[in-house]
Every structure is written in structure tokens, then in C-alpha cells.
Structure 1
Amino acid sequence: MAARTGAIFFNFTDTNNRMFTRAVATSNGATLWTFDLGPIFNGTGVRLFGPAYANGRVSSMTPTNNSSATPLLVVNASTGAYLSTATYDTQGSSGSVVTPVGDELFYSSGYFGNVVFAANAVTGSRLWRTALSDQYSGYVMQGESVAVDQNYVYFFSAGSLVVLGRDGSIVKSIENPFFSQRGLSYSGEYVGAPMLDGSGRIFTFSDNYSEGKALPIAAYSLNSDKAIWRSGFSYTGQPAVHGNQLYAIRSSSTIVDVVDTATGVAVRSYDVGGTENLTSNVVATDSHLFVANSTTTFAIDLTRSGTPVVWRTSFGGRLAITPEGYLVISTATGLHAVKLR
């Protein structure tokens, strides 16, 4: 999912294996427009990744078979009209979620993985393509959204955390000593994105990661050549960084740990209770945490004594907050929204 004021965007497929982006009104769920992204490769293990929104445009990568010019389509967020097409090379990839910054699009793929791209969202023209030769043997060819700040682009290749300049030049490669796939033929996937704390630290799972898997979290620093810590627990879903704390769902549990970003130590834990394990991404605000399992979403109040669960819904799934303050829950049957303010 992606959102802006007044609209929520999501991707779906029909029975003919065509992929679409749809915009619905935040206030009532009414369809605003639908855009046909075209046919998708229907191979084993293909999954859909959501659209991205920035600067009045919605961008999507589609699952495809082998191609040196796979389309990344950009449409007008207000009307659903076609705007531009960027391209990338891939080999039976499900794509990922694009990272848009202003008028630039950043994304990863590659015929053998480990390629980072930048394109102009207005024209679709490629700005640069950087192929990474990972000296630590890891690779990622689908699922990963790159992280971007004012100076750098961050890509996790499983064997290392690679830092690129905004011009595509390689700045440094930080070894991940916890990578476990060396010397093996394996499917290179990383579902998620490097997380930044704004203080020069970057966080990822400690290995190639797919949905439902459980792994420790590793931390890197721009000032170090190796990972600086690995968490003592394994986590699942998608963590969130807020301030100097990282919030993560402990594997096979109903617990959210609060991990200190400097040390990797779990300094607090919140148990939402119940019998079904948490599986969702974490949404963190100044006052609340939102997490979910497959049937229920929980709101934890961080400002109240004892940090209680202050409400729960009868829907669970992937979570996002819109600019108007709706918590949107994406389930197998559709989108559901809770008004937070």
C-alpha cells in the first residue's frame, strides 16, 4: 500500500494474470481510478509488491520473466493517467517496491541480482545502473527496496551492506559476518529494506529474508567495515525504527521488543496477549505502536503507564497510516481503515 491525502493506492491481479494499480478514496473506499500495468509472469513463487507514491506520482514494478527491459510504470496519482516508463533487467523476478525521492526513482533487480538503478520519474530515462560484485558472496534479485537519504543509497546484498552515492558510485561495502549462504546455489531474496536511524546506523535482518522467516537483526555503521551488533533474539514481520529505538516482533510470539539502536539490546518488551503469533510490519508513532496477526490488529499506547493495549480490531494484516490519520489494514479480502484522530 501507499497513500497520500485523500487516496490509498494498492496493486492486485485478475484471473487473466494481469496486474493493476487502483486508487480508492480514504474516506469511504470508493474507487477513484484503476490502471492496467499489463501481464505478469506466472511462475512458481511469484508475489506482488505494492506501489510507491511521491510527488504526485505512483510507481510500480511488475513480476516478469527474463528481460533486459522490464517496465517500471509511473502514473498520475490524481487521474491514473500514464506518465512514463523506466526499465531494468531481470530474470523471473517478482520485483520490489520502488523508493521514490522527489523526481527520482531508486530500485534494485538485475539478471543475476545485486544491481541498483536510478531513473527520472518524469521521463522514465535511466540516470544510472550500478552492478555490485559482492566480495562476500551474497546476492539479492527481488523483494528489496533500497533506502535513500540526502547523501547515500543503501542496498543489502545479504553478504554485505553496500553504500552508494546518490550518483551511483560505490562508497563502501560493509561486511555482514552473519551471512550463511556462502558457496551455495540459492534463491536471492530480501523482502524489506535497510532501515536508517539518522545517526549513521543502518539495520537489516542478518541474512536473506522472506516473509514468514525469523532472523536476528544486524546493525551497521558508516564508520565501521563490519556489522557492529546482532540482536540476541530472532524477529519476523517488518521492524520499524523510531528515534533511537527499533521495534520488532519477536519470532513465534505475541511480543514486540524495543531494541536500543546503539547496542542491539532489547530494553523493553510489550506483550499484546492472545494465542496467535504476531506477523505484521510494525507501525511506530510518537504515542503508539500498531502490530497485527492474521486476524487482529493491536494498538499499544506508549504514553500511558504500563503501555497497555488500548484497542484491537477484528482485522489483521499489513499496516499503514495515511496523512489524515487512518490506520489502513490490508487483508486477503480487502482494505479496512480505522480513524485514529
Structure 2
Amino acid sequence: MTKMTIVQAICDGMRVALKTDPSVIVLGEDVGKNGGVFRATDGLWEEFGDERVIDTPLAEAGIVGTSIGLAVNGFRPVAEIQFMGFIYPAFEQIVTHAARLRTRTQGVFPASLVIRAPYGGGIRAPELHCDSTESLFVHIPGLKVVVPSTPSDAKGLLLAAIKDPDPVIFLEPMRIYRSVKEEVPEGWFEVPLGKARRVREGDDLSVFAWGAMVPIAEKAAREWEQKGVSCDVIDLRTLYPLDEETIIESIKKTGRAVIVHEAPKTAGLGAELIALIQEHAFLYLEAPIARVTGYDAPVPMFALEDHFLPGVERVSQAIGQVASF
């Protein structure tokens, strides 16, 4: 095993996939010689050449459209969109074609492609570089949506996504790209899509989070553990399909929940989680479910960014309110 950051683990995952499977192709803006805007593809162009690691024009619809064509013809493209806020020109290709291809052709044509996109705030980037609009893609039948929060998960989930027969939106939390290192297995290994990870075991309250909000939720949970409240912290990892079994099992154990995401509150994935819990575990609830989220506004410029994003203080306050209800 080797210690890696999340961005290093993602790069290593693509390297392993390129070595293992000749049908894998990496493409996107500056992914080749430059190694990507965050260096997530650093060294791949030198190792595998410009027929497998391809610099594209600045045209997101073209990147995704090309990836769909490659997938139809038996390749497994891994497309990079430099920032999630740049993905909207490709939204029509994703929704109208990638997500519907297998259904439209009754399974005749494959649609195995991965669309990687750094997302979320906390890096002092300008407008459209910090969006967290994962719920747009969770709402689209035919897509899978994945968000890692640790280096090991980043590599294992990416390799599982590359192998998956469906198109996968793979969102990478920029805020924690390089904030932590951990041991990551070498070679090919997979973390199953659709399975959540229990970060901390607890009996008093469930905390659900994903991406860069997982370490925030974990830190708030540690603070409350010192006060006698034990939190069951769940990293969803896959936003679609959700691991409903783990979510409901946790609620039945604790009877209380806090949901944390940096996306805007209205129609965010937190609302879907609340509906899921209401449908399957309503009689187990002992308190209203709390959401700690971003605000219903565009991500602000630098001076207000820390106020906009959920932090330990806001999460801790929500835990206290739900635990004492």
C-alpha cells in the first residue's frame, strides 16, 4: 500500500485502468501534457500517449458527445469536466443521450462512461467554479452519481465506475483533494457502487453526509461524543443509487437524524433522504430531521464563502437541537 491524497488516488485509479483495460480512454481539457487543472491526470499522457490520454477543445458538449460515441463503440471513456459549473453545456448530451442510451436501444448499445468533475466550494475560486448541483443528476434515471470522501474510496469507486455498464457522474470534492493522506491499495480494487460507509458508530443520532462535508460531520460528532451523545456518521458515497438499507437501519437504531450537504437547501438531496426516512422509518423517529446546507443562492465570492458553506459550528448546533428535542 502507498499513502496518497484523494487527487493522487484518482490519478492512480486511471493509471491502473489504462494499464489493465485497453478500451479505457481518458479525455478532457488539458488532461494530457498539462496533467489537468488539478494535476489529476499527471503523468498519464507521458505513459500512455496521446491516443489514450486526449486533450480536447474547450467544448464540454463535444467532450461528452465524443465519450458517448466511444462508449457505443465498445470503449470505456473517462471524461473530465474541469469544474462542475462547466458541465451545463453538456447537460443535454448527458440527459438526452448518455442516460437513455441503454433503454432506447433495449440494451443493444453499451453506455459505460465516466464523467469526472471537481465540485464544491472552499478553495476561493470564482463564480461557476464551486457549484454543488449533484441533485440535478440524481434526478435523471439512467445515471449513477458517486462522491468519494477518502483517498481509498476515491480510487476504488472510480475503478468500479469505469467497469460499470451505466454512465456514472463522478464528483470529486476539491476542498479535500489534498487535505488528507491514507494508505491506498495498489492495483485494481473496487468499492461497490450503491453502498454507504459508516464513518463512526453511534446509538443516539444519525448524521448523513458526503464529499467534503464528511470530515465536517465527523468533527462535529466527535465534539458531541465528549458530551455524551454518540453519533452514527454515514458517508453515503453513492448518491444514486442510495444505500437505503444502511440509511434506514441507522435511523431505526438512533431515531434522530441530521443531514449535511453544501448544495442549496431547496430540492437538495437532503429532501429526498427525509422522504425516504418518512416512508420507511417514520414510527422510529423521536425528533424532526434537521438539514444543514448551503443557502439558496449562488456560491458567493471569497469574503462570504466560509459563511455560506456548512461548518463544524452549524453542524454541531443542529446535532444539539435534534438530540435535545
Category of TM-score, reference length = shorter chain: under 0.3
TM, length-normalised to structure 2: 0.27
TM, length-normalised to structure 1: 0.26
> Which protein is richer in strand relative to its size?
1
> Which protein is richer in helix relative to its size?
2
Q: Which has the higher contact order (CA 8 A, sep 6+)?
A: 2
